[in-house]
């Protein structure tokens, strides 16, 4: 067998060995935490941990995905280095959590590539897709209004519908694998309601007592990271709502774009774009200042690439809207449209393999936690 043919299996073996080592170390640290219980008033990880004395691999995967990496437990812990126990719970759970996403992803190899070379992969995809869309614009119709003057509606649908549906299918496969691994039982509506409620308010980023987290360093507790996450989350949902409303207006009410400033799609899109832009910018700044060893250092670049890609999606959308509304910027609309749609396309296709996937897995973890709370004797 040639060395090239052997490489994938060797890489897979190395990845499995790293994952097993991370699980073993996480189990060691959680068992010490379970004996101490000083942090049991913190996020959902600690009450969940106290329900049992032994932890399977699936239990560790579940606890890791419940963790929001607020780092309050680390700064409160008396057993961190230089103590011989050398605890770093947020760091080791971040490693296990990242490994679970890569393991459950379909196909898994794509997740590993993005998280190790995230900035390069994102930049290459955005550039490549933007160039492709510029080429497609050469086939644009002779007549069209707004952005349809540069790229026809049918062309947009042909490009973006598969780019939206295929990642959703890949995520569904990954979530099914995750649910089986953590021992999830059939979901009930109340479990989903509880999960969505926790996700909507980001309850687990309040430090357990409302003071917020100290993601940056030391004892500087604040809700800044929580608010940045909420701005990002709700900004994204507003942008998605704008696209959904525009789709309904186009197909159900025969009201094609472009839409005026005070139309529902524009109001939702602009407010969402501003929130998304501000939220991701602040998250990137906080991440740059945070201690890397309290996360998963090996995938820091991939996580930052995801935040910057989402920032670029929102910023390019706002700049495109501003340019399309002025005579001065009209000449730039063609390439601005290609850049914006190229970044959106890259974002969609990378969703199952980038940090974006954490929202889906964390929602699944919260639903499983709701099940386990209910089943507690």
DSSP string, 222-239: BSHHHHHHHHHHHHHHHH
Structure pTM?
A: 0.87
If one compares 24 and 261, the residue with the highest pLDDT of the two is 24
Measured CA to CA, the distance from residue 180 to residue 26 in angstroms comes to 20
Peptide bond into 82 cis (omega under 30): yes
Burial 131-164 (b: 16+ CB within 10 A, else e): eebbebbeeeeeeeeebbbbbbeebeeebeeebe
Range 345-349 contact pairs with CB under 8 angstroms and sequence separation of 24 or more:
345/125, 345/129, 345/133, 345/159, 345/160, 345/163, 346/122, 346/125, 346/126, 346/129, 346/309, 347/309, 347/310, 347/313, 348/160, 348/163, 348/164, 348/167, 349/125, 349/163, 349/166, 349/167
Where helices occur in 262-356 by DSSP H, the ranges are: 264-289, 300-324, 333-350
pLDDT at site 363: 95
Using pLDDT thresholds of 50, 70 and 90, give the confidence band for residue 53. confident
Instruction: Give yes or no for residue 358 having a pLDDT over 70.
Output: yes
pLDDT at site 14: 40
pLDDT at site 139: 63
Instruction: Give yes or no for residue 192 having a pLDDT over 80.
Output: yes
If one compares 114 and 190, the residue with the highest pLDDT of the two is 190
Using pLDDT thresholds of 50, 70 and 90, give the confidence band for residue 216. low
Mean pLDDT (the chain) is 86
Residues whose CB falls within 8 Å of the CB of residue 91, separated by 6 or more in sequence, listed in order: 74, 293, 294, 295, 296
Average pLDDT over residues 195-213: 81
Average pLDDT over residues 96-114: 84
Q: Which residues pair with 213 in a beta bridge?
A: 222
The 10s digit of each residue's pLDDT in 120-150 is 888 888 888 888 887 777 666 555 666 777 7
DSSP state of 321: H
Angle at which helix 264-289 crosses helix 300-324, to 10 degrees, equals: 150
Percent of the chain with pLDDT over 70: 88
Q: Is the dihedral of CA 245, 247, 252, 255 positive or negative?
A: positive
Q: Which residues pair with 222 in a beta bridge?
A: 213
Longest Cα–Cα distance of the chain, Å, equals: 73
pLDDT at site 42: 83
If one compares 89 and 325, the residue with the highest pLDDT of the two is 89
If one compares 74 and 220, the residue with the highest pLDDT of the two is 74
Average pLDDT over residues 158-184: 93
User: What's the Cα-to-Cα distance from 370 to each of 189, 226, 310, 334, 353, rounded to whole Å?
Assistant: 11, 22, 30, 49, 26
CA–centroid distance for 172 within its chain = 15
Instruction: Give yes or no for residue 357 having a pLDDT over 80.
Output: yes
């Amino acid at each position: 067998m040639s060395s090239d043919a052997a490489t994938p299996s060797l890489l897979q073996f190395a990845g499995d060995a790293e994952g097993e080592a991370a699980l073993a170390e996480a189990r060691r640290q959680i068992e010490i935490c379970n004996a101490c219980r000083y942090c049991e008033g913190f996020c959902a990880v600690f009450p969940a941990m106290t329900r049992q004395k032994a932890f399977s691999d699936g239990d560790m995967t579940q606890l890791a995905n419940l963790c929001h990496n607020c780092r309050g437990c680390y700064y409160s812990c008396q057993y961190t280095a230089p103590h011989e126990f050398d605890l770093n719970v947020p760091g080791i759970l971040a490693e296990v959590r990242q490994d679970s996403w890569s393991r459950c992803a379909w196909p898994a190899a794509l997740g590993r590539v993005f998280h190790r070379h995230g900035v390069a992969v994102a930049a290459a995809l955005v550039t490549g897709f933007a160039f492709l869309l510029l080429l497609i614009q050469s086939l644009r119709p002779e007549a069209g209004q707004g952005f349809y003057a540069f790229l026809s509606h049918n062309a947009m649908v042909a490009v973006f519908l598969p780019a939206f549906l295929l990642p959703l299918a890949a995520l569904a496969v990954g979530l099914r694998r995750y649910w089986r691994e953590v021992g999830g039982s059939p979901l009930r509506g109340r479990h989903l309601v509880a999960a969505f409620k926790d996700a909507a308010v980001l309850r687990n980023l309040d430090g357990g007592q409302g003071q917020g987290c100290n993601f940056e360093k030391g004892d500087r507790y604040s809700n800044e990271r929580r608010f940045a996450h909420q701005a990002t989350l709700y900004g994204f949902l507003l942008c998605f709502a704008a696209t959904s409303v525009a789709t309904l207006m186009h197909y159900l009410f025969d009201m094609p774009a472009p839409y005026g400033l005070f139309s529902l799609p524009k109001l939702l899109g602009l407010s969402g774009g501003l929130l998304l832009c501000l939220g991701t910018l602040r998250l990137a700044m906080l991440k740059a200042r945070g201690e890397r060893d309290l996360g998963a250092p090996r995938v820091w670049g991939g996580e930052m690439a995801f935040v910057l890609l989402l920032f670029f999606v929102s910023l390019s959308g706002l700049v495109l809207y501003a340019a399309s509304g002025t005579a001065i910027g009209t000449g730039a609309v063609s390439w601005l449209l290609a850049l914006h749609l190229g970044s959106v396309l890259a974002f969609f296709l990378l969703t199952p393999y980038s940090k974006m996937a954490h929202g889906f897995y964390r929602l699944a973890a919260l639903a499983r936690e709701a099940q386990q709370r209910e089943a507690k004797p």
